[in-house]
Chains A and B, each alone.
Chain A
Amino acid sequence: MRVFDRRYEMMPRPQMEQLQLERLQALLVRLKRNVRRYREQIGDKQVESLEEITSLPFTTLDDMAESFPYGMFSLPLREVIRLHSTLGPKGTPLIIGHSQNDLTHWGRLVARQFVASGVTPNDVIQICLGGGSYRGGAGYVLGAELIEASVIAEEPFHIDYQLAMLQNYRPTMLITTPTDAKQLARTIAERRLDPQSLHLRTLLLSRPVNEESRGHLEAGLMVKVQSSFGIEEVLNPGLCVECESGNFHVNEDQFLVETANRELVITTLCREAMPLLRYRTGVACTLNRAKCPCGRTGILLTPGERMDGRLLVRETPLYQEQIHDVLSRSPMAGQPFSIEIQEQRIIVEVEISSQLFSDMIWGMEKMRSEIESSFLFRLGVNAEVRFSAPGKGENPLN
C-alpha cells in the first residue's frame, strides 16, 4: 500500500489534534484581522481546545452570497491567483479564490487520492468531467502533475470520440462523472466491445455512487471504481481520500470536520485566500473514528443526501428557484409546475391556463421549444417541458 503524505495521512491522533488546535488558533487570528464579517462575529472569542469550536459562529451559503464577490477573501485580490465560480443559494453565483499556496496544497491533497488509487508516474490519466466542471478538473491536473502522471487534457464531446480516445491514447485512469461513466459502460455493452481491450485500470468518479451503480460500472468497464467526495465551496476534489478499503478519510490536517444535526460542517485550517469557519455544507453525513485497515488515521466520513434542496441534473447543480426563474421569464410565468429529475434531463410539467391555451399546435410547440431552449441556455440542463390541464398540482415554491 502506497501513501503520498505519510506524515499527515497517518499522523497519530494526539499529534493531529495538537496540529488542528494550532492551525485553528492561527486561523482565528487571521480571520479576525482580515475578514470583516468574521471580525464582527468572532469578537474576542478564543478557543483553547478543539471542543470549544462549538462556541464559534457558523458560516452559511447565505453568508457567502451576501459577501459576493470578494467579501470572504482573507488576502488582497492581487494575491488571489485563481478564481472559480460555483452555485450559491437559489442559483446565485459565488466566487471561490485560491492563493499560490492554496493551489499547491490542493495539488498535494488530490495527489493523496491518486496514490491511494494506485496511480504512478507511468499512468496516463484522462480527465473528462464535462464543460461545466473545470474547477474540479483543475484540481485533478494539479495532483496528477505532482506525481508526474501524464494527463490528457482534452474533453471529448461525443461518446464515439471518447471511445476512440480510450482506444488510441490508452489512458489507465479515467476521471469522469457517474452519468458519463454509465453512458460509457452502456455504449460499450451495446456495441459489444471488449472493455479489456481498453487499458483502463481505474475509474475515479467525481462523486460517490451507491454500491449497485459501482458494481455495474466495475463489471461494465472491468475497472476498479473509486470516488471523490468534496464540497464545491470548500474544495472538490481534495476534501477526502477514498482508500483501498473503500472508506473516505477526511484530510484532517487541512479540514476540521464536525456535524450539526447530521449536516457536515467544515472549517478550513490552511486555506489562505478564502478560509471558512464552521461552514454548513448542506450535506448530510456520518463521521466515525473506526480504525481502517489501510492505516490512514483521518476520520471516516460517509456522505449522505443533500439537505438544502439542491438538485443534480446531468451533474449540473440546480435549485427549484432557478427553474421558477426560467419559467417566470416565459409566458408560463406564475403557472403551477412540477418537476421530475431524470439522469440526463429534467421534466418540467407546467399547468396551462385557458388564457394561455391555444388550439394551434405550432403555437404551443413554439412556446415549449422556447422554454426548453431557455433551460439549456440559462441553466445548462436539458429539459423537457410538458403542458398539463389546470388543477393537477401546485407550484412547489408556493
Chain B
Amino acid sequence: MLLQVKNLQCGYGALEVVHGVSLHVCTGEIVGLLGANGAGKSSLLKAMVGLLTPWHGRIWINSRLSGWAPAWRSVSNSVVLVPEGRQIFSDMTVRENLIMGGYHNPDRKSDIDIILDRFPKLRERIGQVAGTLSGGEQQMLALGRALMARPKLLLLDEPSMGLAPLMVEEVFAEILKLRDAGVTILLVEQNATATLQIADRAYVMETGRIILEGEAADLLQNPEVKRAYLGKSYKEVWE
C-alpha cells in the first residue's frame, strides 16, 4: 500500500469535519474519493499532506508512519497535492510555475522539457503569465507543476471544477495517461460518473464519514452514491 490512513479525524477550530476515516491506495491505482460539498474530502486531503493537523489517527506513506509531518515533508515523500481551484502562481510565467513545482527536484530544468512534451499547450504558453491562461490550461499547468516534484502519489482535488465539458474530458484523459506512466492517483471529485469511469476503486464520503467503498464499476450501479450526493436519508427516499 502506497498510502494507508486509519481513523483520521481533523477539523477547523472546534469543529470536527472528518470523523475517523480509513482508506488506502495501492501502487498504480486510481482511487476516487467522492462526495457532496462539505463531505470533508478536501479537508481529508489537506490532513494527508500536512496542510491541516490531524486530531487523531495515523497515516502511512510507503509503509512508513508519516507522523503528522508538515507539508514540505510530504513533497519529499513523493506525495503531491494539486489543490482545489488550481492555486497556480498567477503573476508568474508558466516556466516559473513549473520551476516552483520542482523546488526539491535537482533536475528540475531538464524535467521541464518532459512536462512540456506531455502538455504541448504549455510549451506554446511557456513565457506567458499564468493568470492569463484559460481554465483548462491552468489545470494542465497545475498538473505539470505537481509532476515537476516527481510524485509517486498525486492527490488531485476537484481537477474538473469550473471546466467546460470538453476540457473535463481532456483532463481526465491526462489523468489516465499519468497512471499509465506509473503515477498513483487519489482523485477527489464531485463529478462522480466521470471519476468512476476512470477509477479502479472509490470511496464515497458523507458528512465526514466514508459510507461506501468498492470497485468503481460497482459503485456506478449503486443508488447509495446518488443518495450521498443528494443528501437524502434512506427514510426520505423510502417514504
Contact = CB atoms under 8 A, between A and B. Distances in A.
Interface string A227-263: 0000000000000000000000000000000000000
Nearest to B204: A26
A19 B24 contact: yes
Interface residues of B, number: 26
The 9 A-B residue pairs whose C-beta atoms are closest, nearest first, are: A34-B234, A76-B238, A48-B7, A22-B22, A29-B211, A29-B209, A18-B24, A26-B210, A101-B218
B73 interface: no
Interface in B15-52: 20, 22-24, 26
A21 B6 contact: yes
Contact of B210 (A15, A29, A100): A29
Nearest to A15: B1
Interface string B192-216: 0000000000010010011111100
Given A30-B211, A76-B234, A22 B23 contact: yes
Interface in A78-130: 79, 100-101, 104-105
B221 interface: yes
A213 interface: no
B224 interface: yes
A145 B1 CA distance: 33
Main secondary structure of the interface of B (DSSP, over half): strand
Interface string A128-140: 0000000000000
A75 B223 contact: yes
A47 B211 CA distance: 14
Interface string A254-287: 0000000000000000101000000000000000
26 contacts: A15-B1, A15-B24, A19-B24, A19-B213, A21-B22, A22-B23, A22-B24, A22-B203, A23-B213, A25-B210, A26-B210, A29-B210, A29-B211, A30-B212, A30-B224, A33-B211, A46-B20, A74-B234, A75-B234, A79-B223, A101-B218, A101-B222, A104-B218, A105-B218, A270-B214, A272-B224
Contacts of B221: 100-101, 104
Main secondary structure of the interface of A (DSSP, over half): helix
Interface of A: 14-15, 18-19, 21-23, 25-26, 29-30, 33-34, 46, 48, 74-76, 79, 100-101, 104-105, 270, 272
Contacts of B24: 15, 18-19, 22
Nearest to B212: A26
Contacts of A33: 211, 233-234
A6 to B, nearest CB: 13
Nearest to A74: B234
Nearest to B238: A76
Nearest to A269: B213
Given A18-B6, A33-B234, A48 B20 contact: yes
A16 to B, nearest CB: 11
B237 interface: yes
Interface of B: 1, 4, 6-7, 20, 22-24, 26, 203, 206, 209-214, 218, 221-224, 233-234, 237-238
Nearest to A48: B7
Contacts of B22: 18, 21-22, 25
B191 to A, nearest CB: 21
A159 B208 CA distance: 60
B239 to A, nearest CB: 9
Contacts, number: 63
**Most-contacted residue by chain B among A19, A30, A101, A105 (CB, 10 A):** A101
Contacts of A46: 20
Nearest to A25: B22
A103 B2 CA distance: 31
Contacts of A270: 214
A238 to B, nearest CB: 16
B4 A272 contact: no
A100 B24 CA distance: 26
A104 B222 CA distance: 12
A48 B5 CA distance: 11
Contact of A26 (B26, B211, B234, B238): B211
B114 to A, nearest CB: 31
Given A22-B210, A25-B210, A34-B234, A48 B6 contact: yes
A29 B223 CA distance: 16
Given A22-B203, A26-B209, 5 more contacts: A18-B1, A25-B210, A30-B211, A76-B237, A272-B222
Contacts of A272: 222, 224
A26 B222 CA distance: 14
Nearest to A23: B213
A33 B232 CA distance: 11
Contacts of A19: 24, 213
Contacts of A21: 6, 22
Contacts of B210: 22, 25-26, 29
B211 A18 contact: no
B217 to A, nearest CB: 9
Contacts of B6: 18, 21, 48
Contacts of A34: 234
B48 to A, nearest CB: 15
A76 B223 CA distance: 10
B154 to A, nearest CB: 21
Contacts of B23: 22
